[in-house]
Structure 1
Amino acid sequence: MKQVVQNYRSGELALLDVPEPACKPGGVLVSTRYSLISTGTELMKVSEASKSLLGKAKARPDQVAKVMQSVATNGLAATYRKVTSKLDSYTPLGYSLCGVVTAVGDGITDVSVGSLVACAGNEHALHAELNWVPKNLYAPVPSALSPRHAAFGTVGSIAMQGVRRGEPQLGDVALVIGLGLIGQLVVQLLVASGVTVVGVDPDPARCALAESAGAALCAAPGSDTVEMAVATLTGGHGVDQVYLAAGGSTNQPVELAAQLARDRGTVVDIGKCSLNLPWNAYYEKELDVRFSRSYGPGRYDPSYELEGRDYPIGYVRWTERRNLECFLDLAARAKIDMSPLVTHVALFEDAVETYRSLNDGELKAVAVLFEYPRAETPELSVPADSVEIGGPPAEPMGLSHDEGAAPGLTERTGTEPDKTEPNGTAQNSAEQNGTPRNGAERNGHRAVAVRKSTVRVGFIGAGNYASSMLLPHLAENERVDLHRVVTTAALSGANAKRKFGFRHASTELDDLLGDDTVDAVFVVTRHSSHASLTNRALRAGKAVFVEKPLALSEAELDSVRATIEETGNDRLQVGFNRRFAPLLNETRRQFGRRVGPASVRYLVNAGGLDGGSWYTHDAEGSRFAGEGGHFIDTVSWLLADDPVTVYATATPGHTDLQVVLTYPDGSTAAVTYTTTGSAQFQKETIDFTADGKVLRFDDFTRAAVYARRKWVSSRLPKARDKGQAAELREFVDAVAEGRPMPVPFGSLAATTSATLAVETSLATGGPVHLRELTP
Structure 2
Amino acid sequence: MYQLIQNLKSGETVLETVPAPQVRAGHVLIRTRRTLVSLGTERMLVDFGKANLLSKARQQPDKVKQVIEKIQSDGLLPTLEAVFRKLDQPLPLGYCHVGEVVAVGTGVTDIAIGDRVASNGQHAEMVCVPRNLVAKIPDSVSDEQAAFTVIGAIGLQGIRLINPTLGETIVVVGLGLIGLLTAQLLHLNGCRVVGLDLDDHKLTLARSLGIETLNPSTIDVVKAVVDLTGVGADGVLITASTKSDEVMTQAARMSRKRGRIVLVGVVGLNLSRADFFEKELTFQVSCSYGPGRYDADYEQAGHDYPLPFVRWTENRNFQTILHLLSTGQLRVEPLITEVVPLANYQQIYGQMNGSASGSGSIASLLSYPEATTRPGEQLGTSVRVHQISAGTRLSQSAGVVGIIGAGNFAGSTLVPALKKAGATLQTIVSANGLSGTLLAKKHGIVNSTTRYQDVLDDPTIDLCVISTRHNSHAKLVIEALQAGKHVFVEKPLAIYEDELTDVIAAQQATSQAGERMVLVGFNRRFSPTVQKAKALLGGSASGTVPMNIIATMNAGVIPANSWVHDRTMGGGRILGEACHYIDLITYLTGSHVTAVCMNAMGKNPSETTDSASILLRYDNGATGVINYFANGSKAYAKERLEVYSQERTLILDNFKSLKGYGFNGFSSQSGGQDKGHTEQFRRLVHSLRTGGVPLIPFAELVNTTAATLAALRSLQNGGWVTVG
TM-score (normalizing by structure 1): 0.87
1:645 is matched by which residue type in structure 2? A
Give the Cα separation in 2 of the matches to 1:376 and 1:624.
48
In structure 1, what residue type is equivalent to 2:236?
V
Give, in angstroms, the shift of residue 528 of structure 1.
Answer: 0.8
Aligned with residue 186 of structure 1, among 169, 182, 191: 182
Question: CA 1:575–1:664 in 2, change beyond 3 Å: closer, same or farther?
Answer: same
Q: Which residue of 1 aligns with 2:67?
A: 67
Partners of 1:591 and 1:705 within 8 A in 2? no
Decide whether aligned partners of structure 1 residues 565 and 397 sit closer, same or farther in structure 2, where only a CA change above 3 A counts: farther
Partner of 1:202: helix, strand, or coil? coil
The answer to whether structure 1 residue 527 and structure 2 residue 473 are counterparts is: no
1:572 positional shift? 0.7
Give the deviation of 1:559 after TM superposition.
0.7
Q: Aligned pair in 2 of structure 1 residues 369, 171: CA closer, same or farther (>3 Å)?
A: same
CA distance in 2, matches of 1:559, 1:590: 38
Aligned residues: 699
C-alpha distance in 1 between matches for 2:691 and 2:424: 17
Is contact 1:97-1:126 (8 Å) kept? yes
Cα deviation for residue 63 of structure 1 reads 2.8
User: What's 1:732 paired with?
Assistant: 685
Classify 1:316/1:30 alpha carbon distance in 2 versus 1 (closer, same or farther; 3 Å).
same
1:294: how far off?
0.3
Residues 212-611 of structure 1: pairs in structure 2 closer than 5 A: 212-215=208-211, 217-221=212-216, 223-224=218-219, 226-227=221-222, 229-234=224-229, 236-361=230-355, 363-364=358-359, 365-375=361-371, 391-395=374-378, 454-478=398-422, 480-568=423-511, 569-594=515-540, 596-611=545-560
Question: Structure 1 residue 371: deviation in Å?
Answer: 1.0
User: For the structure 1 residues 481 and 469, does the alpha-carbon distance in structure 2 shift closer, same or farther, using more than 3 Å as the test?
Assistant: same
User: Does the 8 Å contact 1:78/1:469 carry over to 2?
Assistant: no
Q: Which residue of 2 aligns with 1:713?
A: 668
Structure 1 distance, partners of 2:290, 2:705, is 41
**How many angstroms apart in 2 are the aligned matches of 1:209 and 1:336?**
14
The alpha carbon displacement at 1:395 in A equals: 4.2
Distance in 2, matches of 1:376 and 1:473, equals 40
Cα RMSD (Å): 1.9
One-letter amino acid of the counterpart of residue 80, structure 1: L
Residues 758/720 of structure 1: CA separation in 2 closer, same or farther (3 Å cut): same
Confirm or deny: 8 A CA contact 1:545 1:572 kept in the other structure: yes
Structure 1 ranges of 4+ moved more than 6 A: 396-399, 450-453
Contact 2:70 2:79 survives alignment (8 Å): yes
Q: Aligned AA for 1:474?
A: L
Residues in 1 aligned to 2:199 and 2:261: alpha-carbon distance in whole angstroms = 22
CA distance 1:509–1:171, change in 2 (3 Å): same
2:597–2:615 Cα contact (<8 Å) kept: yes
In structure 1, what is the Cα distance between the partners aligned to 2:519 and 2:81? 24
Q: Which residue, 651, 664, 676 being the options, matches 2:601?
A: 651
Q: Which moved more, 1:528-537 or 1:699-708?
A: 699-708
Sequence identity (%):
38
Q: CA deviation at 1:609?
A: 1.4
2:162 maps to 1:129: no
Say whether the 8 Å CA contact 2:398–2:688 is kept in structure 1. no
Query: How many Å separate the matches in 2 of 1:376 and 1:114?
Result: 14
Separation in 1, partners of 2:555, 2:57 = 26
Measured in 1, the distance between the counterparts of 2:619 and 2:577 equals 24
1:96 has 2:119 as partner: no
- The one-letter amino acid paired with 1:219 is L
Q: How big is the shift at 1:588?
A: 2.9
Q: Does 1:210 align with 2:206?
A: yes
1:181-234 C-alpha deviation (Å, 9 max, x unpaired):
11101100100000001111000111111121121x212215436445423442
Contact kept? 1:204, 1:219, Cα under 8 Å: no
Which runs of 5 or more residues in structure 1 are unaligned?
378-390, 400-449
Aligned AA (2:716): A
What is the deviation of 1:587? 2.6
Q: CA deviation at 1:90?
A: 2.8
Tell me the equivalent position of 1:624: 574
Question: In 1, are the aligned partners of 2:146 and 2:322 still within 8 Å (CA)?
Answer: yes
Partner secondary structure for residue 57 of structure 2: helix
What are the within-5 Å matches in structure 2 for residues 77-116 of structure 1? Answer: 77-116=77-116
Residue 134 of structure 2 is matched in structure 1 by 138
Tell me what 2:196 maps to.
Answer: 200
SS of aligned partner of 1:272 = coil
**Inter-CA distance 506–640: structure 2 relative to 1 (3 Å threshold):** same
The residue number in structure 2 matching 1:694 is 649
Structure 1 pair 68/542, CA: closer, same or farther in 2 (3 Å)? farther
CA displacement at 1:357 relative to structure 2: 2.0
Cα distance in structure 2, aligned partners of 1:201 and 1:328: 27
1:5–1:92 contact (8 Å) kept in structure 2? yes
Q: What residue is the counterpart of 1:676 in the other structure? A: 631
Residue 589 of structure 2 corresponds to which residue in structure 1?
A: 639
Give the aligned partner of residue 746 of structure 1.
699
Instruction: Sort the Cα spacing of 1:305 and 1:545 in 2 relative to 1 into closer, same or farther, 3 A.
Output: same
Task: Provide closer, same or farther for how the CA distance between residues 693 and 358 of structure 1 changes in structure 2, counting only shifts above 3 A.
Answer: closer
Go from structure 1 to structure 2 and tell me whether the alpha carbon gap of 1:206 and 1:360 turns closer, same or farther (over 3 Å shift).
closer
Q: In structure 2, how many angstroms separate the alpha carbons of the residues matched to 1:16 and 1:519?
A: 30
Distance 1:738 1:113 in 2: 50
In structure 2, distance between residues paired with 1:227 and 1:688: 69
Offset of residue 392 of structure 1? 3.6
Q: Partner amino acid for 1:252?
A: E
**1:452/1:736 contact within 8 Å kept:** no
- Render the CA deviation track for 1:681-737: whole Å, top value 9, x for unaligned: 21222111111111111111221111153633245x2x2100111111111111111
Displacement of 1:64: 2.8
Gap runs ≥5 in structure 2:
383-393
State the secondary structure of the residue aligned to 1:94. coil
Q: Distance in 2 between matches of 1:82 and 1:559?
A: 37
Shift of 1:37: 0.3
SS in 2 for 1:358: coil
Alpha-carbon distance in structure 1 between the residues aligned to 2:397 and 2:561: 44
Amino acid at match of 2:376: P
Flag the 1:727–1:655 CA change in 2: closer, same or farther, 3 A. Answer: closer
Q: Which amino acid aligns with 1:266?
A: R
Question: How far 1:89 moved relative to its partner?
Answer: 2.9
The residue type paired with residue 197 of structure 1 is V
Structure 1 residues 171 and 327, CA gap change in structure 2 (3 angstroms): same
Q: For residues 110 and 74 of structure 1, do their structure 2 counterparts lie closer, same or farther at Cα, with a shift above 3 Å needed?
A: farther
> Which of 98-107 and 192-201 deviates more?
98-107
